[in-house]
Chain A
Amino acid sequence: MRMPEPDADVIAGRGALVAALRGVLAEEGVIWSDNELKAYECDGLTAYRQVPLAVALPEDTRQVSRVLEICSEHGAKVVPRGAGTSLSGGALPLADGVLLGLGKFNRILEIDYENRCAVVQPGVSNLSVSEAVADEGFYYAPDPSSQIVCTIGGNVAENSGGVHCLKYGVTTNNILGLEIVLMDGEVVRLGGKHLDPEGYDLMGVMAGSEGLLGVITEVTVRILKKPEVARAVLVGFPDIEDGGRFVADIIAAGIVPGGMEMMDKPAIHAVEEFCHAGYPMDAEALAIVELDGHVTEVDHLIARVEDIAHRCRASSVRTSHSEEERLAFWLGRKSAFGAVGRISPDYFCMDGTVPRRALPEVLRRMAQMSARFGLRVANVFHAGDGNLHPLILYDANVPGELEKAEEFGAEILKLCVEVGGVLTGEHGVGVEKRDLMGEMFTDADLEQQQRLKCAFDPGGSLNPGKVFPTIRRCAELGRMHVHRGQLPFPDIPRF
């Protein structure tokens, strides 16, 4: 993975930069010893590593603003980081960049039950928001699988989803307000506790901006009342095509489940050997459908889902009758990544989204690719929204396997685009999928996106080298190529 050429002058000026940072941050708020910097050299995408120039750990918005001003003055780039759980390398450091850690922003500032929202700092973990409001029966809906550690700030930057987003939406649908700091140190507030502020929806573009537009320093999230009850149905299928039809039939019946997950045979086996969740070993595909809400509604819909399962030739149908049973159904799915980690020294977790109807075809072609590359693949996916997580198993110690796995992954993502889907459903582009952006977007599409970045960060110093395959200067992007002349289209109706 090629990153932007580091600026030798900035690296040479590290001493002055660190001194300036120490002038505004607490003693332990600046890290520059090689030993300590090593801890920050990668995020959840461990295949890529780079030790940062320095790490800054500010404690409040004013300090973030000062750190960004100082970095701007010194020409240093900045990479923001929450808990570092990105699976796409979004928080991969730069040799000439300061890693801006937001771990000290770990306070819940306000819980406003009457307006059904909470104001939190970006370093608060996703799960602790739900825990903080649990006593009153509320929760925060987006639940990425890393929710124990991943932070709300990172969730906004990546527009994180989770297993319940078919019904409850992703991060962008569940936030009301943001405070951000721009690269020049300016603090801007977007939204608040009210809905749909007018003006350009800058909160909408901050969600999923992967740390390239601004540093998030405060988030106002919506909190929801916990559903009265949740029940799950565990369904095994003799054929993946039956599983695909099952998912389509549920949607066609007008049912929107809280969650609808699937796994293929290799994933079922890895999971079953790991945690003995009681999954059917003979099934080619396994679906977990969760219904939540009012007890009358859930009971009614569970019966309909069971009926659809039988009509789709299900080989086994089990319905949870207690909370313990429901959690047991989920245990396997939730430990899938860990289970796969046990049967293979290394794995890549991919993240494309495809139209639901393309699921069987994509799985079939992935199996063919697996044979061609000689690498195993196990699939877990959010079937409700077509978001696939193929896990490509490889061994980094075998020369050439990493490269082969990367190539396999790229082929899968190209296939997703080919069938009408997209490169990434929830993990982000980062560095991992950066060079594949051309598969989905034209130069004009990408240039327009970069012009948006120019409005926020004209110097291109915030998290460069991520998302965009080619870095373009804002002056060049702003230029207009104008061809004056007569209206060149006599055939456009005019009045």
Chain B
Amino acid sequence: MNMPLRTTESISALPAATAQVLAIPAKPVSLLPRLRTIAGNVALRVIPPIIVIACILAVWEVLCSRPGASLPPPSKVLEDTWELIVDPFFDRGGLDKGLFWHMSASLQRVALGYALAAGVGVALGTLVGQSTWAMRGLDPIFQVLRTVPPLAWLPLALAAFRSGQPSAIFVIFITAIWPIIINTAVGIRNIPQDYRNVALVLRLNQFEYFFKIMVPAAAPYIFTGLRIGIGLSWLAIVAAEMLIGGVGIGFFIWDAWNSSRISEIILALIYVGLVGFVLDRIVAAAATIVTRGTAAN
């Protein structure tokens, strides 16, 4: 690999020319087997979950179809909630809205609270990671506060904001911020001395150092925090909304329970799970794109 360029160039010049000629007829032939392997890989990933889900549904159906069963079987759930599934966009005023509107209200709260948590969390984490004094001062407080359950903040937030909406956003914020702070701080503290030396030799100023060395070097850690944070946010929103009321998937579930519409609860739970999964994937995908190359050292 370390031969002088002259040698590599003269060698690579020849095969490159011949390879071009060969590649054209080779392409259509190789397309079909490649498609077949892709299809095979997809099947390998898709078939096992389908089988397992089918089994679970079958057991559930059998168990809950007995007379006197307290929970509805899947067939009943589907039947009861068919209207909600096929038309998630209806809006009959008040709280009588389609699931899309409930979901979107919840997602908006999470988006706001989580964005705040991400901004403040990365900033505070950077401070704690950079300054030993700040770490000694703030770390004990963080360690205590992060163990407070999200919902315990809600009464305090309601007292402070006197309104449900900002309180719910605050609960999301306070839930998501701790893993973001702690992971960012660890990431900043773990920046190798080598990178710091490079910055010193180049005389990067604080601003350049932050954006060109610190953020990319700590990015894998920051994203770990962000990913834990989004999961916790989604966990907290359902609980918070059950208490504050209004439009939102949490209150939808609570409302369904109060009117004994068990099938709707089950449908909502499935949606909550799927959305949570998608949120996690989105942050994970963002992490892969942003930290590409950092991990592969």
A and B physically associate: no
